[in-house]
Homo-oligomer: A and B are copies of this chain.
Amino acid sequence: MPRKGDATRGGNKQVPPKETRLTLRLDFEGAGRLGPGKMRLLELLEANGSISAAGRAMGMSYRRAWQLIDELNRTFSEDVVKTQQGGVRGGGAVLTQTGRDILNAYRGIEKKAQKVAAAEIALIARALSKS
C-alpha cells in the first residue's frame, strides 16, 4: 500500500507542530474581567436559550453559571443576558444586543490576534518539546 510522503522526508524531520490555542483575558482594573470561560458560557446560552443548559454543557452547576452571568451583568452598564418570564428556572434566557456586541468583539480580538501574530505563535510552537 502506497504511503503518504514516503522516503523523501529524510533530512528534514518535520514533526507537525502541536496545535497552539491562543486565549485572551481582559482585565478592567478591578472592575471585572472577561476570559474564555464566560465567553463560552454566553455562546452556549445563545445556542441553548437557557442558563442551565449552557452551564450543563460546560459541566457547571446552575448556581455557578448563574453567578457568572450575574457577574457579567454587573460588569457592564447594560445587561448582557436577559432572563425571560417563567420562574427562576422556567423561563429562557437570551443575550441582549450589548451581550452580542461584547461576545463578537471578544471573538474578533481573538481572531485578529491569532492572525497578526501568526509568526510569533509559530516560533513558540516550533520550540516545543517533540515528545
Chain A interfacial positions (CB closer than 8 Å to B): 4-5, 18-29, 31-32, 34, 74-79, 98, 101-102, 105-106, 108-109, 112-113, 116-117, 120-121, 123-125, 127-131
Give the number of times this chain occurs in the complex, counting copies.
2
Residues of B within 8 A of A124 (CB): 26, 34, 102, 105-106
Structural contact, A22 and B24, CB atoms closer than 8 A: yes
Structural contact, A112 and B105, CB atoms closer than 8 A: no
Candidate in A20, A98, A109 with the most chain B CB atoms within 10 angstroms: A109
Nearest 6 Cβ contacts at the A-B interface = A113-B113, A109-B117, A105-B120, A21-B27, A116-B116, A23-B25
Structural contact, B125 and A28, CB atoms closer than 8 A: yes
Residues of B within 8 A of A22 (CB): 24-26, 109
Residues of B within 8 A of A74 (CB): 129
Which residue of chain B has the shortest Cβ distance to A122 in the bound complex?
B105
Structural contact, A113 and B24, CB atoms closer than 8 A: yes
Which residue of chain B has the shortest Cβ distance to A27 in the bound complex?
B21
User: In the assembly, what is the distance between CA of A27 and CA of B22, in Å?
Assistant: 6
Q: Name the one of B5, B77, B113, B130 contacting A127, with C-beta atoms under 8 angstroms.
A: B77
Q: What would be 7 A-B contacts, judged by CB atoms less than 8 Å apart?
A: A21-B26, A21-B27, A22-B24, A23-B25, A24-B113, A102-B127, A112-B117
